[in-house]
């Protein structure tokens, strides 16, 4: 068994897979388009050749039907004269040629350059020589020295003569298709260049698209090592951008949770060390035979354990403050909440309790947490004042916020202490430096922040202090 899990063998990257898929699909599409274009153009070529062959045969038949040489105006004396006149009148197109046969043997050929010498193709001549005199027009292919030839052959017989003439019109089909082949080759070269350009552009675009994913992977690796790093930059509004924003939000919550956990451990280690030392020291010095000392030590240790229990509960409460379920929002009657807090606070100590005001509105919040925060402020006021002092609770509201406060006429908070008292385990050095864990105001701040609000302090040394929870009336949806 190894100390660390073996690294998985990495296959092709996502960029390679996406780029390969794009190029493959593009190549298949181009090849399909090229093949389809070649087939369509080839069929059009065959149809054009057949049409040209039929037209040539139709012109020959028209000449035969007239029976008169257009140049001399005299009647044809035989099949040979008809064939010779037909060949002399026709001007061959590119890749077109003619041939005349009499009784199955080559009789006359046109002058000039020809794509193929039909009279030198024995298989074709033999096929034409076997056609009967009454054979219909033949459109067929034949293999020659220059490739496939598409030809049409028509028989002609003059009354009173046994001579059978054959008039042949042919096109070198493979030579005609060279144009298609050249076009196909040009298309292939252009397609190859296009694929290269597409690959370069796709590589750039895919790299831009996958960059946030690469940053996500790197951030995930840092997170695995508890190094959360900075948030990933987000640009755009597509699905990858949304994923990046969600990842940033998740990392933010993990970072907060990690910090809360570390703070909790640090705080617990710092604060629990003192009671543990006290308990251990008294137990080591305890004389079991001295009953009075045992009773005194027991009372002291129970009191220290109670204080430690309260401290742990406060630390756990602060650790939960960032959790989504720390507060449960519901409509809260602010006036009723104010009266309930006063009724419960009366039991904290013999003071002149009163209500400064009641806001007759509803607030979206957690009634139990708000009561806990206000009672904590009331308990602090009791600890900071003498019996008979005045402590008041109150509430007011505007269009957008609700203010809940606890006011006392005690010694107030010195200027230098106003920031310290809201810190964990922070206590005022003068005036309100009463005994306690130093977590009370931290808990109040945590409850206010969980309601998207904050705590304000108004105080003049020697003239009391007012702690106010400033809360929005409507809570935003959890982000």
| 320, 348, 380 - which closes a domain | 320
Compute φ and ψ for 365, nearest 5 degrees: -170, -175
Quote the Cα angle for 458-461-462, to 5°: 115
Residue 459 inside a domain? The answer is: yes
Whether residue 348 is found in the same domain as residue 302? no
| Close Cβ partners of 26 (under 8 Å, ≥ 6 residues apart) | 194, 195, 198
Q: What is the DSSP string of 154-186?
A: EEEE-TT---EEEEEEEEEHHHHHHHHHHHHHH
* H or E element in which residue 271 lies: helix 239-285
8 A C-beta contact, residue 124 and residue 131: no
User: Which residues on adjacent β-strands are paired with residue 254?
Assistant: none
Q: Check residue 3 and give its pLDDT.
A: 44
8 A C-beta contact, residue 69 and residue 79: no
| 297, 320, 343 - which closes a domain | 320
Whether residue 159 is found in the same domain as residue 291? no
**Could you give the 3-state DSSP secondary structure of residue 394?**
strand
Whether residue 155 is found in the same domain as residue 54? yes
Range of the structural domain that residue 139 is part of: 18-180
| 320, 350, 367 - which closes a domain | 320
**Which residue, 364, 354, 375, is CA-closest to 334?**
364
Whether residue 343 is found in the same domain as residue 429? yes
Burial pattern 115-152, b for ≥16 Cβ within 10 A else e, equals bbebbebeebbebbeebeeeeeebeeebebebeebbbb
Residue 59 inside a domain? The answer is: yes
Whether residue 143 is found in the same domain as residue 28? yes
Beta strands (DSSP E) in 14-146 are 96-102, 105-108, 138-144
Residue 45 inside a domain? The answer is: yes
- Residue 462 is part of a domain; what is its CATH number? 3.30.565.10
Whether residue 424 is found in the same domain as residue 365? yes
- Tell me how many domains the chain contains: 3
Whether residue 460 is found in the same domain as residue 334? yes
Residue 239 inside a domain? The answer is: no
Residue 306 has a CB neighbour count (10 Å cut-off) of 10
**Which residue, 179, 155, 146, is CA-closest to 48?**
179
Whether residue 25 is found in the same domain as residue 174? yes
Beta strands (DSSP E) in 288-422 are 330-333, 352-357, 362-365, 390-397, 401-408
> pLDDT digit of tens for each residue in the chain (479 aa)?
444 444 555 677 777 888 888 889 989 988 998 899 888 998 999 899 999 999 998 998 898 888 888 878 888 888 888 888 888 888 888 889 999 999 888 988 887 788 889 888 899 888 888 877 667 787 888 999 889 999 999 888 888 788 888 999 999 988 888 888 888 889 889 989 998 998 898 888 888 777 777 776 676 666 656 566 666 676 666 666 777 777 777 777 777 767 766 766 666 665 566 677 767 777 777 778 888 877 888 887 787 777 677 667 766 776 666 677 778 889 999 999 999 999 999 988 899 999 999 999 999 999 998 998 999 899 989 988 899 899 999 999 988 899 999 999 888 887 776 666 666 554 454 444 444 456 778 888 888 988 999 999 888 777 889 999 999 988 764 44
Whether residue 45 is found in the same domain as residue 69? yes
DSSP state of 68: B
Residue 201 inside a domain? The answer is: no
Q: Check residue 236 and give its pLDDT.
A: 65
**Which residue, 452, 411, 453, 408, is CA-closest to 432?**
411
Residue 223 inside a domain? The answer is: no
Whether residue 33 is found in the same domain as residue 97? yes
Residue 291 inside a domain? The answer is: yes
**Which residue, 223, 220, 216, is CA-closest to 14?**
216
Q: Check residue 227 and give its pLDDT.
A: 60
Residue 209 inside a domain? The answer is: no
Q: Computed from CA positions of residues 430, 435, 438, 441, in that sequence, does the dihedral angle turn out positive or negative? A: negative
Whether residue 44 is found in the same domain as residue 95? yes
Whether residue 362 is found in the same domain as residue 449? yes
């Amino acid at each position: 068994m190894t100390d660390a899990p073996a690294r998985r063998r990495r296959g092709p990257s996502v960029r390679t897979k996406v780029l390969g898929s794009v190029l493959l699909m593009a190549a298949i599409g181009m090849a399909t388009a090229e093949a389809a274009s070649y087939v369509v153009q080839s069929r059009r070529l065959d149809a054009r050749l057949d049409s040209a062959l039929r037209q040539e045969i139709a012109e020959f038949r028209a000449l035969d039907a007239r029976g008169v040489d257009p140049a001399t105006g005299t009647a044809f004396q035989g099949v040979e004269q008809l064939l010779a006149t037909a060949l002399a009148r026709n001007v061959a197109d590119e890749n077109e040629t003619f041939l005349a046969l009499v009784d199955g043997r080559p009789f006359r050929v046109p002058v000039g350059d020809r794509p193929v010498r039909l009279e030198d193709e024995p298989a074709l001549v033999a096929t034409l020589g076997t056609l009967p005199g009454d054979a219909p027009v033949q459109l067929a292919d034949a293999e020659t020295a220059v490739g496939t030839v598409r030809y049409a052959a028509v028989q002609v017989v003059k009354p009173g003569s046994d001579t059978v003439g054959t008039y042949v019109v042919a096109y070198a089909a493979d030579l005609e298709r060279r144009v298609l082949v050249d076009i196909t080759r040009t298309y292939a070269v252009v397609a190859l260049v296009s694929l290269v350009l597409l690959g370069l552009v796709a590589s750039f675009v895919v790299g831009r698209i996958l960059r946030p994913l690469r940053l996500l992977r790197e951030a995930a690796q840092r997170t695995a090592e508890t190094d959360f790093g900075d948030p990933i930059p987000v640009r755009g509004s597509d699905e990858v951008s949304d994923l990046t924003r969600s990842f940033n939000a998740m990392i933010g919550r993990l970072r907060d949770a990690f910090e809360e956990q570390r703070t909790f451990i640090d705080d617990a280690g710092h604060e629990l060390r003192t009671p543990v030392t006290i308990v251990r020291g008294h137990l080591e010095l305890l004389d079991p035979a001295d009953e009075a000392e045992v009773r005194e030590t027991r009372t002291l240790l129970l009191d220290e354990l109670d204080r430690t229990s309260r401290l742990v509960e406060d630390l756990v409460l602060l650790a939960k403050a960032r959790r989504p379920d720390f507060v449960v929002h519901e409509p809260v009657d602010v006036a009723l909440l104010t009266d309930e807090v006063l009724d419960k606070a009366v039991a904290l100590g013999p003071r002149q309790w009163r209500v400064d005001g009641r806001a007759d509105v509803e607030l979206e919040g957690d009634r139990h947490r708000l009561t806990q925060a206000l009672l904590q402020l009331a308990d602090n006021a009791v600890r900071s004042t003498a019996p008979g002092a005045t402590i008041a609770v109150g509430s007011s509201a505007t269009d957008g916020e609700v203010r809940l406060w606890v006011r006392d006429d005690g010694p107030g908070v010195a200027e230098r202490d106003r920031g310290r008292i809201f810190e964990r385990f922070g206590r005022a050095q003068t005036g309100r430096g009463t005994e306690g864990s130093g977590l009370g105001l931290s808990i109040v701040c945590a409850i206010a922040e969980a309601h998207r609000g904050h705590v304000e302090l108004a105080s003049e040394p020697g003239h009391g202090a007012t702690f106010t929870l400033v809360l929005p009336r409507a809570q935003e949806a959890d982000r």
